[in-house]
Homo-oligomer: A and B are copies of this chain.
Amino acid sequence: MADVGQEEDFEAARGKALAVGAKKFYLQDLKREFITELIYPAMQANCIYENVYLLGTSLARPVIARGMIEVADTEGCDYVSHGCTGKGNDQVRFELAFYGLRPDIKVIAPWRIPEFYDRFPGRQALLAYAAEKQIPVQQTAAKPWSTDENLFHISYEAGILENPNVTPPGDMWKLTSALDAAPSEPERLSIEFKAGLPVKVITEDQKTFTDPVDIFLGLNALARKHGVGRIDIVENRFIGVKSRGCYESPGATILRAAHMDIEGLTLDRNVRALRDQFITIELGRILYNGTFFSPEREFITSAIPASQRTVNGVVRLKLYRGNVVVEGRYSDEGLYDEAQSSMDELGGFEPTDTTGFIQIQSIRIKKWAQSNIRKGQGGVQAKDVYGSRA
């Protein structure tokens, strides 16, 4: 069993496992590697799936799969198994991770074995079976959805959520305060980044966190209190099925806002643009689709350090009822220059230079416009906005 920060009674799990027939039970604390090896690189790259989802389930799978293969190596196993359904993303993520680490491993996936799924055609049937056999399970009729929790987030899907027009009931949300139940007073904090990684968090009540695990859990506590990090989306699974998911990613939501802000102050424009278009999007896709242990992930992540070399500085934030408000930021990096950007002084800037800049930029545009005009397709009358030309 992997401890990736989920709220769980591990001793009860151990007992249950041994009671239902397991020969051995391993519990691995993977929280630190989950944060430092998966979450932090993803935050450095601002990864997000379909502009909305912070990838909390995806991020945990590689460390869990690696832990499983470690145990399989130790125990000399030829097979590993998982309980993912045959329609979801997690089966792919687990199995591709297994194969990327140990290409000869064999996988037993009961939910894809006809004898199994014909007998248990859905979670309800399995819940009934568990009830019949008195196997304790968390999901109940009172909580008609499925969850996946770790220290990064919790997900909710299936059950009543399968109708994408059903508003999730207020008591579904487990990690974060409701917006109207959050404190009526804002709370401030600052986050210091070095090479794009959070290295120090100072809270309004002067608590300081510097250890990666402490930082992440500290941000989680603040964000949960202030209702930060809920989303409700319809996403596209890797297998091509659309699916509705609700997520709470409290600390990560703060961290993302802060990291993107400090990049504004400290990251070169072109590096940022190239990174956004390539690393951010591709690494998000890699994580979502489950190819973390793959040549393309090795390739893509190799470019992260060079993208973060200058991302050093401090962001000051305010949390209030779901909002993460940036209140200021500073850095010694020197890429921002008040005098240079000022409207009130030249700051070493020759305004005539911009004339040349614009003239040169206009060369090919003028040629195009002249060609349009010659063809009767140019000027203010060509009020095409997009698509067809007049």
Contact = CB atoms under 8 A, between A and B. Distances in A.
A282 to B, nearest CB: 6
Contacts of A307: 299
A296 B69 CA distance: 37
A242 B264 contact: yes
A296 B236 CA distance: 14
Contacts of A87: 340-343, 349, 351, 354
Nearest to A314: B165
Task: Name, among A357, A378, A384, the residue most crowded by chain B CB atoms within 10 Å (CB to CB).
Answer: A357
B103 A366 contact: yes
A206 interface: no
A317 to B, nearest CB: 11
A209 interface: no
Interface string A156-185: 011100111111000000000001100010
Nearest to A116: B351
Interface stretch (A3-11, A13-21, A322-330): A322-330
Contact of A268 (B327, B335, B364): B364
Contacts of A363: 239-241, 340
A369 B90 CA distance: 20
Interface residues of A, number: 155
B269 A361 contact: no
Interface string A179-194: 1100010100000000
A354 B260 CA distance: 34
Nearest to A185: B180
A159 B343 CA distance: 8
A58 B121 CA distance: 39
A236 B334 contact: no
Contact of A302 (B158, B302, B338): B302
Interface in A343-390: 343-346, 349-371, 373-374, 378-380, 383-387, 389
Interface string A97-117: 001111100000101101001
A306 interface: yes
Nearest to A257: B52
A155 interface: no
A285 interface: yes
A295 B122 contact: no
A46 B336 CA distance: 28
A138 interface: no
Contacts of A52: 260, 264
Given A329-B234, A343-B87, A386-B302, A296 B276 contact: no
Contact of A310 (B261, B295, B328): B295
A114 B346 CA distance: 11
Contact of A242 (B103, B242, B337, B379): B337
B310 A371 contact: yes
A101 B367 contact: no
B358 A96 contact: yes
B69 A343 contact: no
Nearest to A339: B162
A252 to B, nearest CB: 15
Given A328-B166, A383-B37, A385-B36, A265 B293 contact: no
Given A159-B343, A302-B306, A356-B360, 4 more contacts: A33-B383, A112-B354, A232-B327, A304-B386
5 contacts: A86-B352, A96-B362, A111-B351, A112-B355, A270-B294
